[in-house]
Every structure is written in C-alpha cells, then in structure tokens.
C-alpha cells in the first residue's frame, strides 16, 4: 500500500500542497495505524486479481470532529481503472459493510472528485445529495453526510 500511496499523493498534489521528503517520496505518517487501530480499516482494490487502488476508512472525522461517523479517509483508483464504475462499486460495498453515518470529504478544488462522490452517494442512497462547505486549516472542503444501513 505504501507504493500506491505515492501515486495517490502525486495525484492529490494537484489540489493540495504535499511536500516530498528528502528521499523524494511522499510521507503518510498515519498509515501504520491502519494495521493496529481497531477503528481503522485498510483495503486494497483488485480487478481480476490486478491491483487497482486502495481505500482507508476510519471511525471519527478529523474534519467535523464527529467521533461516531465513518470517514472515507483516503480513496484511490489508479488512472487505468477509472471511469469503469469500479470506484462506485467499491464505495457502495464499503458503505454496506460499515452501516451508520458516513462523511465523505472532497477538497473544493477537486471538481472531478466532487462529481464522482455526489453521483456515487446519490446512486447509493436513491436521492439527491448536497455537500456542506467546511473550512479547516486554510482549506475549503465539500462534505457529504449520509446514512448507510445493511438494507441499502
């Protein structure tokens, strides 16, 4: 997953300043917590046994401060697998797996990400969704909040 995080951070650096370490790599200091903290869950995305991305999910939102929500912390599908419905399918599977209130946040500058999440959530919930705007650490975010249950 560490190697996939390099691709993800590179893509994400288009929207947010992400510094390289002295060795030329992006650093994601919280990654080890996904194997030791019971409220964090790492997933690899595979398509026909080929690696296609990853997802990091955790309980509690750093953005809103709500400790009871599920947070789609990081979500990455490699470019060769995008626009095939894979991301939507994976998101829906995770929302069913972890019922409850969800928050999905997208940087305001990430227009494609905003469109993807609005569509994926609307398809999942069966109704239109609207994001709330939040500011944190001098960044503007769109935050989608919705409910998931096992029957969805």
Average model confidence (pLDDT) for the chain?
A: 88
pLDDT for 146 equals 95
Q: Write the pLDDT tens digit of every residue in 14-44.
A: 666 667 678 767 777 888 999 999 999 999 9
Q: What is the pTM of this model?
A: 0.87
CA distance 40 to 33: 7
Q: Residue 2: which residues within 8 A CB-CB, separation 6 or more?
A: 28, 31
Domain boundaries, given as residue ranges, for the chain: 2-148
Does the pLDDT value for residue 111 go beyond 60? yes
Q: How many CB atoms lie within 10 A of CB 104?
A: 26
In this structure, how many other beta carbons lie within 10 angstroms of the beta carbon of residue 32? 11
2-148 falls under which CATH superfamily? Gcn5-related N-acetyltransferase (GNAT) (3.40.630.30)
């Amino acid at each position: 997953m560490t190697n996939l995080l390099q691709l993800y951070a590179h893509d994400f650096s288009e929207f947010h300043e992400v510094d390289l370490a002295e060795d030329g790599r992006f650093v994601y200091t919280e990654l080890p917590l996904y194997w030791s903290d019971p409220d964090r869950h790492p997933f690899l995305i595979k398509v026909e046994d080929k690696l296609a991305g990853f997802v990091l999910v955790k309980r509690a939102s750093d953005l809103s401060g709500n400790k009871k929500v599920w947070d789609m912390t990081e979500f990455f599908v490699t470019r060769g697998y995008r626009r095939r419905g894979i991301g939507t399918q994976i998101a829906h599977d995770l929302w069913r797996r972890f019922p409850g209130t969800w928050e999905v946040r997208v940087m305001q500058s990430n227009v494609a990400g905003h469109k993807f999440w609005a569509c994926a959530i609307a398809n999942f919930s069966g109704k239109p969704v609207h994001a709330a705007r939040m500011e944190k650490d001098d960044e503007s975010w769109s935050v989608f909040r919705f409910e998931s249950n096992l029957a969805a």
